[in-house]
Structure 1
Amino acid sequence: MLRFFRSYYPYQYVSLLGLLLLVRLPLLLHPFPLLIPELNWMLVGEQMSQGHLLYRDIWDSISPLSALAYWGLDTVFGRSPLALHGAATAVSVFQIVYFNYVTNNRDVYPDRSFWPGLIYMLFLHLSFDCLTLSPVLMSTSFLLLAFGTLIKQMDRRGATDEVFEVGFYIGIAALFYLPSALFILWASLSLLFFTGTTFRQHSLTLFGFIFPIAATLLLYYLWDGLDDFNRNLLASVFRVRQYSLSDFQSLFASLLIPLGLGVLGFLSLFNTTSRYVNFQQRVQQIMMIWFVTAFITIALMPFLAPMLFLSFVPPMAYFAFYYFENVRKPWMAELGFSVAFGLMLLLFYQGALGLIPGAELGRLSSLQVKDSPLPADIRDQHVLIIGEDLSAYRQNRPATPYLNWDLAKYDLKNLDNYEAVINVFDHFRQDPPDYIVDRENVVEKLFQRAPALASQYEKTATSGVYKRKMSAKL
């Protein structure tokens, strides 16, 4: 495979994208487990389609441009996991083509080939959860655009005012996935150490970063939702920890091969430094700073899953190229890539389809949507889930803004506060749930604090589930 993609002809893009579709088509045509984050994203898009304002009417920590993307998909396709997977494939195509184009067009490597795109394509398949349209995937697209503009500046004698674009792309990336805001440090350090950037141009970079974020803040101020924006997004990045992933074996297995190849490629550079011109050595250092920055974002991840490590793919793919290039015998490079390709796809399909009976490696079971606690005949009802398990929303619609449990705790875990009780009562009055699924044992205390709510609901035969009385009015 490496020999085939060694040549650099435009028709190879067709071969590369054909290989991508060949890898993904079996999963696009075959149903595989729905993940809790996917359901959450679809619910946000659905709620926004009904006219609710994110953060004020929908309490969730998703970044605004990602929510806008899910709103657009819901408007066209409705609540469709296939739409998420199809859109993710389109975004993946862009990233593969752009990464391959930039590395070759800017002479990032000594020789031009389709290896960068091929390796990038493989590393996008860390796990089957990377097949969906995650905020990290969308954010990484704009980080790649920032990288392309940044190395364009390095290839000149002095930086130009195009550094504004670097900051702007990172600002957009942060509005898709907030922890990506840390990459402004990556851009600033790269410009400081490897270009002749002036103080004015550093200021332009920072202004480009701030501009889209400030515009978003202004919109929420005009919509009277700035406090909600601050609480549910800006402050939540340090507090929200959802969907605890206990399957660290799957996470480790997903990252082992790409991370290992990236490290081996980086180490191989110490023996071949003289082969590379000064520009290529600076790009190597920039990619190392990218990797360090991506590593820092782990502390801000809302949960741990392979999909959140997609921002590691560009530096891992970049350095892995050097490993295969510096292997002395071509047949050993070919064999090594074939083994890596086979093992990664085996884990990819094992996670989605369970190819090995009884094996849980790669299945991400803790992130899968479980069976609903509600009877199967309850569909298209307004439901409030108090807790992290969103499974009851799969066939129903959310009621009240309390979609994200970590954020709902502001009110529902603070019922000794009079203002919190008033907030809950108002939300129930404006959007009363037909069913309440209480997984945190707060409903009884809520009913004690708000007797008017207690009179509207009754227990069902299912533990922790309450049903609204037919004649109830708030």
Structure 2
Amino acid sequence: MISYFRSILPSRLTSLVLLFLGLQVPLLLTGIAATLPELLHMLVGERLADGFAMYRQIYDNTAPLSALVYWLVDLLAGRSFLTYRAVALVLLLLQAVVFNVTLNRLSVYASKNYLPALLYLVLGSLSLEFSMLSPLLIGNTFIILSLPYIVTVSREGFENNRLFVGGFMIGLAALSYLPLALFLVVGAFAVIFFASSTFRSFLLMLCGFAFPYALLVTYYLYTGALEEFVTLHLFQPWQLKVNFIVPPAHIAKFMCLPALLLVLSFMSMLSLPQRLVFQVKFQQVMWVWLFTSLLLVFTRPEISTGTFVVVLPPIAYFSEYFFVSGRKAWLLNLVFVLVLAGVLVLRYRELLHLNRFIKIDESALLLPQAPATAIQNTTVLVLGNDIGYYIHNKPVTPYLNWQIAQGHFGNLSEYQAVFDILKNFRSETPAYIVDKAGLMPELQYKLPAVFGKYKPTTDHEGIYRLTR
């Protein structure tokens, strides 16, 4: 099987696509598990499609380019978990193919093949989170697109525009998921290894990175939302309070296969023959890529299996060395079959009823069953983290993200916070308020003109209905 993908014939690429679809499509056909992050992204896209402005009328720290993607998806399909998964799979496939084509075009290996794309797609099928349309997945696409530009062998006056484009791509990645700005470190090392004029080349790449931000800052300045953009996009994601969404031991069960493959690849690299200077320099860039990816993963406020999607490119790159190491064909095929079987077991563990042995709990990601209330097809505001009430209802007011909403509802002793709440409720008034935080008595006392119109329902505690 491994020898089949050592060729770059078009049939190999077709086989890759079919293999990836074979791994993913059965899961889509058997039902799609709704998740909390996806619902929040859908709500952001829905609010944008309704004409509300990001950051000024939608309080959420979703990066602007990712918010644009969610807006486009909502325009095309509305609230559709199937569409979100389909777009995510297309991006994952695009990343694998573009990454492999880049490696082949740059001749970073002794021979051209489709092994990196094969390993990328197999390991990319490891977890449900890799199939979710997350900002990190969107941004990782631009990081891969930047690769052929940042490793350019620069010739003064001829190739400078390529470094600008590489920085521009990293800037788009940061506009999709801000921590991806760390990949400027990868770009800096690529400039050191390849560029003829290091300082000028790095400044050019930095200008390319800053260019999309300059455009966006200008836009928000003229629309009166610059302060909110700076607060919610530039500052919010860097609050380093590490929280494991999925227990660390369960994340380790997912990542043991990629880690084992990396170890085998590093051992195989020790016996490699002499290579070209360009190939050695490119490998050094990939080492920096790997360490930068791990730094990004372990410095995020929330860590789960999905954050490891940024590690897929360096794993796919280094793993190729093991599968062309000259070991016996049966051993290489056996390792690949074991990796493929491990991916199938982990991904299909629920359908195969194997989770009682593997014991991986991803319930923290899943959307809880909709609360048994009579609130359906109406407008709702939830004061708390339970966004399950939005499944069959429409959110109103800017307070989508409860963590960010604490800037107002967590400071009710301050005049400015109370005034901002009053201003937002004058623009939009929900038909129901679900008070999970126990704030309604204080809100009714301090803002009776707004919250005094809400009366508690008799059948469900903590739910208030607007009365005329």
TM-score (norm 1): 0.93
Distance 1:444 1:300, change over 3 A: farther
Question: Where do residues 2-13 of structure 1 align in structure 2 (5 Å cutoff)?
Answer: 2-13=2-13
SS at match of 1:400: coil
Match of 1:121 in 2: 121
* Distance in 2 separating the partners of 1:379 and 1:154: 60
Cα shift at 1:295: 1.7
Contact 2:246 2:361 in 1 (8 A): no
Match of 1:383 in 2: 380
Larger displacement relative to structure 2 (56-65 or 196-205) = 196-205
Contact 2:186 2:289 in 1 (8 A): yes
- Give the counterpart letter for 2:86 in structure 1: G
Partner deviation per Cα, 1:271-291 (whole Å, 9 max, x = no partner): 32x332221111111011011
Contact 1:262 1:319 in 2 (8 A): yes
Question: Where do residues 20-419 of structure 1 align in structure 2 (5 Å cutoff)?
Answer: 20-153=20-153, 160-239=160-239, 245-272=245-272, 274-326=273-325, 328-350=327-349, 353=351, 355-356=353-354, 358=356, 361-375=359-373, 377-419=374-416
Cα shift at 1:457: 1.4
Distance 1:449 1:470, change over 3 A: closer
Distance 1:172 1:97, change over 3 A: same
* Distance in 2 separating the partners of 1:203 and 1:68: 28
SS at match of 2:260: helix
Contact 2:5 2:12 in 1 (8 A): yes
* Distance in 1 separating the partners of 2:190 and 2:44: 36
Contact 2:59 2:400 in 1 (8 A): yes
- Give the counterpart letter for 1:395 in structure 2: H
Q: 1:442 aligns with which of 439, 442, 447?
A: 439
Contact 1:371 1:391 in 2 (8 A): yes
Contact 1:158 1:197 in 2 (8 A): no
Cα shift at 1:369: 0.6
Cα shift at 1:371: 1.8
- Give the counterpart letter for 2:363 in structure 1: S
Distance 1:239 1:464, change over 3 A: farther
Contact 1:89 1:131 in 2 (8 A): yes
Distance 1:434 1:404, change over 3 A: same
- Give the counterpart letter for 2:334 in structure 1: L
Contact 2:380 2:431 in 1 (8 A): yes
- Give the counterpart letter for 1:433 in structure 2: P
Distance 1:338 1:440, change over 3 A: same
- Give the counterpart letter for 1:200 in structure 2: R
* Distance in 1 separating the partners of 2:73 and 2:241: 26
Distance 1:370 1:449, change over 3 A: same
Cα shift at 1:358: 4.4
SS at match of 2:302: coil
Partner deviation per Cα, 1:276-317 (whole Å, 9 max, x = no partner): 222111111101101111122235535222222211110111
Distance 1:142 1:445, change over 3 A: same
Cα shift at 1:215: 0.7
* Distance in 2 separating the partners of 1:416 and 1:249: 42
Q: Which runs of 4+ in 1 moved over 4 A?
A: 154-159, 240-244, 357-360, 461-464
* Distance in 2 separating the partners of 1:227 and 1:300: 25
Distance 1:23 1:246, change over 3 A: closer
Distance 1:250 1:299, change over 3 A: closer
Partner deviation per Cα, 1:141-191 (whole Å, 9 max, x = no partner): 111111122234379999643111110110011111111111112101221
* Distance in 2 separating the partners of 1:385 and 1:354: 37
Distance 1:117 1:65, change over 3 A: same
Cα shift at 1:101: 1.0
Q: Identity of aligned pairs, percent?
A: 33
Distance 1:436 1:279, change over 3 A: same
- Give the counterpart letter for 2:82 in structure 1: L
Cα shift at 1:237: 0.7
Contact 2:85 2:131 in 1 (8 A): yes
SS at match of 1:275: coil
Contact 2:183 2:292 in 1 (8 A): yes
* Distance in 2 separating the partners of 1:196 and 1:155: 6
Larger displacement relative to structure 2 (57-66 or 301-310) = 301-310
Q: Over the residues paired in the alignment, what is the CA RMSD in angstroms?
A: 2.3
* Distance in 2 separating the partners of 1:42 and 1:71: 8
